[in-house]
Structures are given as C-alpha cells and as structure tokens.
Chains A and B, each alone.
Chain A
C-alpha cells in the first residue's frame, strides 16, 4: 500500500471515529432521532447549515445545544422575533469614547461564533432573515463597507415551527437554498418517550463533554472531499437533481404537474458531500447510488418549489423525490 493510501486510510478512520464520538456524545442526551443527528453531523462536517422543522417540544433546540456542547466550539443562540433587527444579528457600529477620542467601532453580533442557533427563524422579518444570507454563504459579515470574516467552522442550525403560522414570515427561496439539509424532527416513539422522561426527569441531567475540536471538523470536511465518486454515480446524482425540474426529460409526471421550480446545483453539491460522508461512515471508499438516494430527500425537499396545484393538493416534496429516484433508477 502506498503512503498516500495509508494517509487516506488514516484520514478516513479519523473521520469515522470523530463522527462516531460526537454522535455517541450527543446520544447521551438526545434520545432517538438517529437519522436527524447523523444528517446534522453530516451537514456540519460538510460545512453546511441545517434547517430543523418540527412542532415545539421535540428537542430541536436541545439537539443543537447538545451538538454545540459536544463540539469544542463557540456557540451562540438568537431567538428570532418580529422585532429583531439585522444589526441584532450581524452586529453594528457603536460610538466609543477612548481617552476623549471618539470613534465608531464595530461591535460583533451573535453570528460571530462557530455554531449559531437561529431559533424560530421564520418569526423574524425578511429583512432580518436576509441578514443571514451573506453570513451563511460567504461566512463573512459586511457592515459599513467593511467585511469581517467569521471563524471556521461556522454553521447555522435554524429551527422553525410548521404550525402557528400567524405572524411568521416564510423563508424566501434564496434563503432556503442556503441550507444544506432540511430535517424533520418527528415525534419520538413510546420507548423513546420513556427514555426522554427517564433522562430529563431526574435531579441530575446528563453532562455533555466536548469531544471534537473545530480543527477536527475542518479536517473531516477535507477528508470528505477526497472520497472518490464514480462518473456513473455522479451522473446518477445529476439526473436525480435535474429530474426535480418540471421541464426535465427525466421528470416524472407528478413533478411536471406539481413542481414550479426544481433543485439548484447547490442541492447537487449538498448531495455529493453528504453521500461521501455516508460512504465513509459505511466503511467504503467510494460513493454509491444508494448513498445518493439516501440523502436526496433532506438535501432537495426544501429546494423544490411546489406549484399552486401542488400546494393545493397537499403534495409532499418527499413523495415527489421518491418518484424522481424511482424514475431515474
């Protein structure tokens, strides 16, 4: 085996071990939700942001808090409300008097962290929501003509409530597209419920220790990008993404009928990165079609804009993605 191969093997092993360490640490507090946790971690190591959707009380905020604790990273939380201003998010310039010399200094907002929890993001106004656009994509903040770089790794974990739609502002498509994954936090099962009560109902709550550093997360991201993908599998990926467009030849009839716009190339990038992570976690050194199909739904569901007919019919994006995969396979 060549040196490069040995180094690659070691990197892959480190990836897997770090991933498992974080996951196991989170599992101390988070009961069940393995898929959500795994997808969140995949998004994190891929350098992406996650939108968590679920009814109140299912542990969305707790999941993010736990993740922040498990990672040795700076964590900030913003509770989005309608009166929240962009400056409250990204920071603002304040007049500072230093030894009689007054000057405007930039005061960093809560986005200057590694893990940002944007709780109930859809309750802020679009203006405030859009303040996150540059932050999420460029990982930088520009205030008063000056750009401030954020520390890496940086990722936003946002939550939103599918009910209580009054007084909310649905995220614009451009903002949605910035999210690597959109994950649904489902109601736990009976046994999981009991376990939650057991763990949180006592006098002592489980303690979460940081088990991974920011540097390790960044290295995981680099390892991920080296994982090979066959052209045929990549072709399959592209076909899946393209088939979400109603104008595509591969698009199934349902997509043609109920979808207004399909996923962007950013969605394909998300699938590719997540598939690679999934392959490494499975002990493989190549991406398979199964990996692509497995991560297609969380990566594409928020990128497919349903038509009026689709909205009226109550069509679910996940069902459409399933049809797309069936058709492409």
Chain B
C-alpha cells in the first residue's frame, strides 16, 4: 500500500460519510418540504384571506427559496471527514479510535504506541459494516411536511373570489374609461382651441390653461379618484364660467327685450335680445344709427325708431336698478347677521361671489349706457326738432343749432357704439361660456361613465350570470344583496365634489330664473296683447278677442264677488 493511498479506516470513514450525508440530504429534503409548504401556506393564506389568487411568481419564489434554504442547510449540516470519523466513533462505540487514528496518521505519528493504535483501529473497523447505519426518516418532519403540503397546495391553487374578480374587472374598466375620457377631453379642448379665433374670446377661454388642466388628468383604476379629478376639473370650469358670465347684463337685456317687444318697430331688436343673439342685436342697433347726411325730417324719422328703442331700454334699466336697490336694502339687513356664515359658506364659491359683484357692476355700466343713450337720443331729437323748426321758419337752421345737433349726433353715436361693443362682448362671452359648458358636460359625462361602471348589468353580486337564472319568468324569491364595496358614499369637501352634489345658491333676483313656463306664459300673453293692438288686425277680430278676455276676467272675478256678496 502506498503512503498516499487511503487505508481501510479512511475508506470506511469515507463510505460512512457518503452514506450519512445522503441520509442527511433526505432528512433535509423532508424538512425543506415542510418549511416550503409552511411558507407557501402562509403566503397563500395572506392572499386567499384578501380574496386574491396566489400569484405564480410567489409560489415559484417561495418554493425556490425553500429549496435554496434546504440546499444551504444540507451543505452546512453535511459531515466533514473529521465529523464522519466522530460519527463512526459514536455510532459503533469505538471511543475516539477512528478520529484519533486519522489525526495521528495526518500528523505522521506512526511509531510505538501510535502503530499499536493504528492496528487496534484497523482491527476494530474491519469488523464493522457501514450498512448498519440505517436511515430513519424524521417522523415528525414527514407528518409536518405531508400536513402542510395538504394545506398549502389547495390554498395556493385556489382562484380569486368573485368580489375580487369583479373589483379587478371594474378597476380595469375604470382604467379604460378614464383613458378614453381623458383622450376625448383632450380632443375636445383641441377643437375648442381651433374654434377660438377672437382675441377677447381667447382671453376669456384661455385654451392653453384648459389644455394643461386636461393634460393633468390621469388614467386611474380608482373610481373615486377618477370621479374626484373630473369633479375638480368641472369645478374649475364652473369657476371660469362664472367669471365669464354676465348674468346681470343679460337680465337687464332680457327686461329691455320685454320692453322692446311691446312696440312693433323695436320688436326685431327685442326678439334678438330675447333670443340672446347679442351680436345680431348689435348689428341691428348699428343700423339704427342716425345719418347726419340725410335731411332733418328723415333723420327724425330714423331717430324715432332708435328713440323708441332707447327709451324702452332705458326704462328697463331704471326698473332693473330700482328693483336691485330694493333688494340690496333687504339683503343688507340679512347680510349683517349672516356675513360670517356667508363668508364660510362661500369659501369655495368665492369666485362666484366676486363674479356676481363684477356682474352687478357690469349691469350698472350697461344700464348707465342705456340711460345715457336714451338721454343722448332725446337731446338729439330735441336738437333736430329745433333745427326742423328753424328750417321751417327761416329755411335754414343757425350754426349754433347745427353744432348742437352735431354734438348730440356724436354723443348718440358714441353711446350707440359703446352699447354695440358691449353687446358684441356679451355675445363673445356667451360663446365662450357655451364652449366651457361643453367641457363641463363632457366632465359630467366622464363622471357618469365612471359612476355607471359599478352599476353595469351583471356587476352586482346580487344578480345572476347568464344561464344561471331561472328558466321561468316567475321569481320564487329575492336574491340577498351582497355588499360589493360600492355602497360607500363619496364624502368630499364642500364645493369640491362633483357638480351633481353641489347646490348653487343665489340671492333673490340676482340669478336667472329657471321658471321657463312663467316666462313663456308671460310672453304668450304679451304676444296676444300686441296682436290685439296690431293695426293690421281687423277691428272685428280685435273686438272679439277683447270681449273674450273681458269675459274670462269677469268669470274669474265673479266667484270672488259672489263670495263677498254672500258675506
């Protein structure tokens, strides 16, 4: 035997080492299976309790982690040669003979007692068989591994719950809906940007800011977040609209329109104002501008139309002013007591309050414009009348009268130009408001789309899937409604929520009346009255109508009169 070749003791130890390491591997595998199953059970439980299916990645990584841990544990636990020698000593009761022999041999100690020791060890080992080392699997490990595997496998392979599936579907749908909505909003803003040509309108609408606001919208899976961002955008748009709108002016022009409709000559203007066609009204007014080049009589005829219109409009302005003064005095009393509350309540609507004040000022300006126009027209009419008188008397008017006429003419032209300009601006404002209104409507549509997603047919857990319902039309009982998590109400800050939940409050008379039927009735009545007054209507018909209304009034007043008589 050569010095380097392993002796029988070394061979025996190596054999035992391989055998024991193999046993350790099996044992480690069993415990690894138990640990892996345990980890998988915990991970699966975590997901299943939340209703989700366990992701495949998690299963794979948990098992891989357990396998790596198991291999590391085996590498750490497996026996070295020295440990194997000690194992042999312990297992066969050799009292450190093998370990001592290996150490002595390694140290090169071979004389005397060392040689005897080596012989002794060889003799001892030669009688031993490594097969006596039987493998005993760990019972507890086996039971644990089997139990945990039985628990972990079904848990890890379990699918997601119906609620989670629905939630995921809904989230996906919300994501798609928000993406689509944002895209449509952006397209709408682009269209709006192209439509806005007028610089003043551009200044009012500010399409760049709108585009930024729309671009800031994000596609989200969260329905509430989606609703919140659309509501926020809508609120911003509403704020912008309130800043654009001139309700006071429109109200004033509505009143003016009512007055104008009373007269045949000013009826077209009145209709245009009533229909809010302010740009056409402006053109109509421009046509009424008296031409100084015409003879005085023609000028006066031309002016008569403008005079009638301006006086009616001035009357409307006065009436409006007196009405608003009366309300202001009433509101002043209230505002003293409610000023603090009003400040808080209008925290979100501060802009609207400001815009209301601005509108009031605007309405005042327009009213003054109308009154001044009426005065200017009156002065011009008087000057023309004087000029006509002088012309009749002396065939020509004096220079003072001419200059006065000219001054009045200029004044009328100025006031008329101012009014036309105001009307044109108002028309532009209305146009801008319409465009912003379209955006607001789009916002509402987006919110409706997001809201509608959770109420789409089949998404409610109480309903049945296709093919699962009863085959008869008769329902035996009602399905129990299951809470699908969509019963929560959106609780936002006041004024920050969607438009559907906000209530616009305005002071009496300062807003636009929505009672369209009353207005229609009144319009109908005035049409009839003007119809009655029209000269081209035959007298018989007019009388007939008069008699008819008188009869109606008599019939209405008779029961009251009877009642009084009875009393």
On whether the two chains bind one another, the answer is yes
Which residues from chain A contact B116 at a C-beta distance below 8 Å?
A: 5, 8-9, 12, 285
Is the C-beta of A14 less than 8 angstroms from some C-beta in chain B? no
- A286 near B115: Cβ-Cβ < 8 Å: no
Bound-state CA distance A287–B120 (Å) is 13
| Interface 1/0 per residue, B95-113 and A, CB below 8 Å | 1110111011000010111
Is the C-beta of B191 less than 8 angstroms from some C-beta in chain A? no
**Nearest residue, chain B, Cβ from A7:** B112
Known contacts: A4-B111, A4-B112, A5-B112. The answer to whether A230 contacts B103 by CB under 8 A is: yes
- B109 near A228: Cβ-Cβ < 8 Å: yes
Is the C-beta of A227 less than 8 angstroms from some C-beta in chain B? yes
- A228 near B114: Cβ-Cβ < 8 Å: yes
Bound-state CA distance A76–B148 (Å) is 76
Bound-state CA distance A283–B82 (Å) is 24
Bound-state CA distance A227–B82 (Å) is 22
Bound-state CA distance A226–B104 (Å) is 14
CB within 8 Å of A: which B433-471 residues: none
CB within 8 Å of B: which A1-30 residues: 1-2, 4-5, 7-9, 12
Is the C-beta of A249 less than 8 angstroms from some C-beta in chain B? no
**Nearest residue, chain A, Cβ from B118:** A285
Cβ of A240 to closest chain B Cβ, rounded Å: 14
Is the C-beta of B117 less than 8 angstroms from some C-beta in chain A? yes
CB within 8 Å of A: which B405-444 residues: none
Which residues from chain A contact B109 at a C-beta distance below 8 Å?
A: 228
- B96 near A5: Cβ-Cβ < 8 Å: no
- A290 near B100: Cβ-Cβ < 8 Å: no
**Chain B interface, number of residues (Cβ within 8 angstroms):** 20
Cβ of B95 to closest chain A Cβ, rounded Å: 4
**Nearest residue, chain A, Cβ from B102:** A230
Which residues from chain B contact A231 at a C-beta distance below 8 Å?
A: 103
Bound-state CA distance A286–B120 (Å) is 10
Is the C-beta of A233 less than 8 angstroms from some C-beta in chain B? yes
- B95 near A288: Cβ-Cβ < 8 Å: yes
Which residues from chain B contact A5 at a C-beta distance below 8 Å?
A: 111-113, 115-116, 119
Which residues from chain A contact B120 at a C-beta distance below 8 Å?
A: 283-286
Cβ of B460 to closest chain A Cβ, rounded Å: 67
- B96 near A230: Cβ-Cβ < 8 Å: yes
**Nearest residue, chain A, Cβ from B115:** A5
| Interface 1/0 per residue, A274-290 and B, CB below 8 Å | 00000000111111111
Is the C-beta of A144 less than 8 angstroms from some C-beta in chain B? no
Known contacts: A1-B119, A284-B120, A285-B120. The answer to whether A232 contacts B113 by CB under 8 A is: no
- A286 near B111: Cβ-Cβ < 8 Å: no
- A233 near B115: Cβ-Cβ < 8 Å: no
**Nearest residue, chain A, Cβ from B110:** A2
Known contacts: A7-B112, A12-B116, A228-B109. The answer to whether A290 contacts B95 by CB under 8 A is: yes
Cβ of A77 to closest chain B Cβ, rounded Å: 38
Bound-state CA distance A1–B118 (Å) is 11
Cβ of A230 to closest chain B Cβ, rounded Å: 4
Cβ of A72 to closest chain B Cβ, rounded Å: 28
Which residues from chain B contact A282 at a C-beta distance below 8 Å?
A: 95
Q: Which of B82, B112, B113 has the most C-beta atoms of chain A within 10 angstroms of its own C-beta? A: B113
**Nearest residue, chain B, Cβ from A2:** B115
**Nearest residue, chain B, Cβ from A286:** B100
Q: Which of B82, B89, B100, B115 has the most C-beta atoms of chain A within 10 angstroms of its own C-beta? A: B100
Cβ of A286 to closest chain B Cβ, rounded Å: 4
- A228 near B113: Cβ-Cβ < 8 Å: yes
Known contacts: A284-B95, A285-B120, A288-B95. The answer to whether A228 contacts B115 by CB under 8 A is: no
Bound-state CA distance A9–B114 (Å) is 11
Q: Which of A233, A284, A287 has the most C-beta atoms of chain B within 10 angstroms of its own C-beta? A: A284
- B113 near A285: Cβ-Cβ < 8 Å: yes
Which residues from chain B contact A228 at a C-beta distance below 8 Å?
A: 100, 104, 109, 113-114, 117
- A285 near B96: Cβ-Cβ < 8 Å: no
Cβ of B107 to closest chain A Cβ, rounded Å: 8
Which residues from chain A contact B113 at a C-beta distance below 8 Å?
A: 5, 8, 12, 226-228, 285
Cβ of A25 to closest chain B Cβ, rounded Å: 27
Give the 3 A-B CB pairs with smallest separation, nearest first.
Answer: A288-B95, A230-B100, A288-B96
A-B contact pairs, 11 of them (CB 8 A): A8-B113, A230-B100, A232-B82, A232-B103, A283-B120, A284-B95, A286-B100, A286-B120, A287-B100, A290-B95, A291-B95
Residue positions of A touching B, CB distance < 8 A = 1-2, 4-5, 7-9, 12, 226-233, 282-291
